[in-house]
């Protein structure tokens, strides 16, 4: 192995509300690596919000833009990357993410996801859930998405981090750092 190759990207996958962006940003800071959120990058690349892309070009248009952004981002190593909840449904995306990266599935209990997405604000960039009109409807959609995507997440992931509500965000980061063999700098 070459001694000076940048380390593999750390890629966070999972459903909307799983905490990919929050966890990714904190993880990146801890490791001193750049953090990329593919949803935010799609918005920069297209000059449109995700809601605008869905409204103007449909989900297919969003998936095309997402695939272009993901493919470009994955040319680089050494990053922490949070992808959208549907990114790994496209096998080409999964292949490029795995080529230069280690993939962690944040597998979060649906009840926790629904709790995090209760407000309209938190659903604003999530057109697939934005128009759910009741808590029951939101529950049903999240459960349907989970059933439909479980296999794609499982087969894309190198590691599964289960989040059942008992552990803190910090515990998730500690678990990822343990898996990659990161040793925190010693305090003087
Ligand atoms: C989507 C998840 C969203 C965003 C888009 C579609 C999905 O990202 O990419 O609204 O299909 O699950 P987050 O998972 O970051 O909310």
Q: State pLDDT tens for residues 136-179.
A: 888 999 999 999 999 999 999 999 999 987 778 889 999 999 99
* Ligand 1, atom nearest to 37 Cα: 15
Neighbouring residues of 22: CB distance < 8 A, sequence distance ≥ 6: 169
| Ligand 1 binding pocket mutation candidate from 16, 37, 138 (most atoms within 8 A of CB) | 16
Cα of 42 from ligand 1 centre, angstroms: 11
Q: Which atom of ligand 1 is nearest to the CA of 66?
A: 9
CB neighbourhood size of 135 (10 A): 11
Question: Could you read off the pLDDT of 28-37 as tens digits, one per residue?
Answer: 999 999 999 9
Mind giving me the DSSP string for the chain? --TTSPPPEEEEE-STTS-HHHHHHHHHHHHT--EEEHHHHHHHHHTS-HHHHHHHHHHHHHHHHHHHHHHHHTTS-S-EEEPPTTGGGSHHHHHHHHHTEEEEEEEE-HHHHHHHT-STGGGTT-HHHHT--SHHHHHHHHHHHHHHHHHHHHHH-SEEEEE-SSS-HHHHHHHHHHHTTPPPPPP-
Question: Mean pLDDT across the chain, nearest whole number?
Answer: 92
CA distances to 43, 45, 87 from 117, in Å: 21, 26, 19
Which residue has the CA at smallest separation from atom 2 of ligand 1?
85
Q: Is 19 in the pocket of ligand 1 (CB under 6 A)?
A: no
Instruction: Determine whether the shortest distance from the Cβ of 126 to ligand 1 is under 6 A.
Output: yes
- β-sheet bridge partners, residue 107: 162
Q: Please write the tens of the pLDDT for every residue from 64-101.
A: 999 999 999 999 999 999 999 999 999 999 999 999 99
How many Å lie between the centroid of ligand 1 and the Cα of residue 62? 10
Lowest mean pLDDT among 41-55, 82-96, 104-118: 104-118
Within a 13 Å sphere around the CA of 5, how many CA atoms are in the beta-carbon half? 9
* Number of residues in the chain: 188
39 lines ligand 1 (CB under 6 A): yes
Q: Is 14 in the pocket of ligand 1 (CB under 6 A)?
A: no
Report whether residue 37 contacts ligand 1, using a CB cutoff of 6 Å.
no
Q: Which CATH class is domain 9-180?
A: alpha beta
Compute, in angstroms, the gap from residue 142 CA to the centroid of ligand 1: 12
Contact of 73 with 81, CB cutoff 8 Å: yes
- Show me where the domains of the chain are located: 9-180
Listed residue (25, 43, 42, 40) closest to 79, CA to CA: 25
């Amino acid at each position: 192995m070459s001694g000076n190759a940048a380390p593999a990207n750390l890629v966070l996958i999972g459903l909307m509300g799983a905490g990919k962006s929050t966890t990714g940003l904190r993880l990146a800071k801890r490791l001193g690596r750049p953090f990329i959120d593919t949803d935010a990058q799609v918005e920069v690349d297209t000059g449109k919000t995700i809601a605008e892309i869905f409204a103007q070009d449909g989900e297919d248009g969003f998936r095309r833009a997402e695939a272009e952004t993901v493919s470009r981002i994955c040319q680089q190593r050494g990053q922490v990357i949070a992808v959208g909840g549907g990114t790994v449904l496209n096998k080409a995306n999964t292949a490029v993410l795995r080529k230069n990266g280690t993939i962690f599935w944040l597998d979060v209990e649906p009840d926790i996801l629904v709790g995090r997405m209760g407000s309209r604000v938190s659903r604003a960039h999530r057109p697939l859930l934005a128009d759910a009109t009741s808590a029951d409807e939101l529950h049903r959609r999240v459960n349907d998405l989970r059933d439909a995507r479980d296999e794609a997440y499982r087969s894309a992931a190198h590691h599964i981090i289960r989040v059942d509500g008992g552990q803190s965000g910090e515990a998730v980061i500690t678990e990822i750092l343990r898996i990659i063999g990161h040793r925190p700098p010693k305090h003087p």
